[in-house]
Chain A
Amino acid sequence: AQKITQTQPGMFVQEKEAVTLDCTYDTSDQSYGLFWYKQPSSGEMIFLIYQGSYDEQNATEGRYSLNFQKARKSANLVISASQLGDSAMYFCAMTWGSWGKLQFGAGTQVVVTP
């Protein structure tokens, strides 16, 4: 069965530093999509970045980049130059095959300190 794993329940990062959030997935499908979302304390789900399984280049969106290592089945999120407003819960998600189900990982709580 398909599975998304985020092994870091929480982490502290200093302002202006980069942080890497881990995400591994397990699927036998060749076609799948990977997403990262940010959820601040308000509960709103904010889309950050998307990577398709056939995309050869790593996705980037501003300060966010996705380190996609297909052979290792990992899709880590890198946030460069952390800001206080980056403090939130971060979720990795995947959809696959016929693109029906959209499954989320357990999340990583990030706290950015001054």
Chain B
Amino acid sequence: SQTIHQWPATLVQPVGSPLSLECTVEGTSNPNLYWYRQAAGRGLQLLFYSVGIGQISSEVPQNLSASRPQDRQFILSSKKLLLSDSGFYLCACLGHRNTEAFFGQGTRLTVV
């Protein structure tokens, strides 16, 4: 089965600083990849998804961007963080049979 590595687990960043969260996948090739953000006690907001290298679909216009430089690497970035960017960020991958989505452990981002 697929394994997703997502780091760091926690991050505290000042307002206006850049952000780079990385997610890598093992155990599959050409997966669909996803970035979600979750506010405390709330649902998962889909930010970006990618069905292939260099193919990024953005769901919410915002201060963030995503890139997929390699088949199994998905990066979430920001040039200047806002307080509203705080949250729990999850990377996910749809399994090769599309019957299960695998998740990373998440990054808890606090912008101060």
Structural contact, A104 and B36, CB atoms closer than 8 A: yes
* A residues near B101, Cβ cutoff 8 Å: 35, 37, 47, 93, 102
Interface extent on A, as a size class? 20 to 34
Structural contact, A104 and B46, CB atoms closer than 8 A: yes
Q: How far is the CA of A44 from the CA of B88 in the complex (A)?
A: 11
Within 8 A of B (CB), among A31-88: 33, 35, 37, 43-45, 47, 50, 52
* B residues near A43, Cβ cutoff 8 Å: 38, 88, 90, 105-106, 108
* A residues near B43, Cβ cutoff 8 Å: 91, 104-107
Structural contact, B108 and A91, CB atoms closer than 8 A: no
Structural contact, B49 and A101, CB atoms closer than 8 A: yes
14 inter-chain pairs at a CB distance below 8 angstroms, sorted by A residue, are: A43-B38, A43-B88, A43-B90, A45-B90, A45-B103, A47-B102, A89-B41, A91-B43, A95-B94, A100-B51, A101-B49, A102-B94, A106-B42, A107-B42
Q: A interface vs B, CB < 8 Å? A: 33, 35, 37, 43-45, 47, 50, 52, 89, 91, 93, 95, 98-107, 109
Starting from the known contacts A33-B99, A99-B98, A102-B46, 13 additional A-B residue pairs (CB-CB under 8 Å) come to: A43-B88, A45-B103, A50-B99, A89-B41, A98-B51, A100-B49, A102-B32, A102-B34, A104-B36, A104-B43, A104-B44, A104-B46, A106-B43
Q: B interface vs A, CB < 8 Å? A: 32, 34, 36, 38, 41-44, 46, 49, 51, 57, 59, 88, 90, 92, 94, 98-103, 105-106, 108
